[in-house]
Every structure is written in C-alpha cells, then in structure tokens.
Amino acid sequence: MSWTTIETSAVKSRLATAELNALRSLQLADGQADPLEEVIQRVVQEVRGYVATCPQNRLSTGQTVPSSLKDAALALIRYRLATRLPVRSLLTEERKEEGRDALTLLRRVADCKFVIDQPDDPEDSNVGGTAAQNLNPQKQNFSRDSLNGL
C-alpha cells in the first residue's frame, strides 16, 4: 500500500448527497466558505501528527496519509462535519463509534503498536527524532542519608 491524498470525492462516497449538502452549507456565517476543504486539511494534519509521533515512522511528502489510515481519516472527517451542526440526527451512534475507533487506531499508530506502510518518498526530516543522549553522564548517588532533610 502507499500513501494517498484525501479527495472530496472520497468524503462524498461516505455521505448521502442531502447530508453532504447540509453539512457543507448550513451554519455558515456571511462570507464563510464551504467547510469541507478545511475539515479535510485539519484531519489530514491530525493523522500525520499521530504518524509522526512514532519514531519508527516517516511522513510522505505532500498532504497525504497512509492508505491503511484512509478509512480512519474519512470517519473523522465525517464526524467533524456532523458536529458542526446543532442538529445531531446526522451523528448516529454508529458514526460516533466509528469516530472513536478511528482515534483509537491513531493512538495505536502513535504508540508504535500499529504498523503503517512507510512512504516511497519520505520527507527529508527525521520525523520521530532520535532519543536524546547525555554526553556527560555522571553517576547520581541518591540514598536515604544524602536526601535527608528534603
């Protein structure tokens, strides 16, 4: 599997047309743009953040997510769109659970407990970083007597 871009068409495939139209147009302030692109962008950044937390992972270039996390990203996008509205009829129990499951999976990725495909085109930086090294290690001598009075 590879890394993929989350397209508007993928979100559309997860919602009925009437639902999507309502989520994209209701509760907009004057001059406010369609929220779909912003929600997609935020969720993609969130997924990439979870991926980057595990030092074994690398990020692909661009605004992409691992294909194995695409369903989780789409579930979060749908959940975030649905929570924009004061009417909760679009936020069914099944969709709530799907959102919780997506976050659980992302936490597993961050904890290095769910392996994702590494990208063919990784970003230049070492995402997870390396452990800090103590260049001047000194033996610390802590005992009951040396800490007496603290």
* Residue 127 banded pLDDT, cuts 50, 70, 90: very low
pLDDT higher than threshold 90 for residue 24: no
CB 3 within 8 A of CB 60: yes
Q: Is 120 inside a domain boundary?
A: no
Q: Is residue 75 part of a domain?
A: yes
Strands of the chain, DSSP E: 3-5, 64-66
Task: Look up the domain containing 77 and give its range.
Answer: 3-110
Number of domains in the chain: 1
| Residue 26 placed within a domain | yes
Percent helix, strand and coil across the chain, each to the nearest 5: 45, 5, 50
Beta-carbon-side half-sphere exposure of residue 6 (alpha carbons within 13 Å)? 31
pLDDT at 23: 67
Instruction: Give domain status of residue 32, yes or no.
Output: yes
In a domain, 85, yes or no: yes
In a domain, 127, yes or no: no
User: Which DSSP category does 66 fall into?
Assistant: E
In a domain, 121, yes or no: no
Alpha helices in 8-126 (DSSP H): 8-12, 17-25, 36-53, 70-82, 93-110
Residue 49's pLDDT is: 97
Return mean pLDDT, the chain. 80
| Average pLDDT of the segment spanning 34-61 | 93
Whole-angstrom distance, CA of residue 57 vs CA of residue 34? 33
Kindly report the pTM of this predicted structure.
0.75
Question: What mean pLDDT do residues 58-63 have?
Answer: 94
What are the tens digits of pLDDT across the range 69-89?
999 999 999 888 888 766 667
The neighbour count for residue 77, using CB atoms within 10 Å, is 25
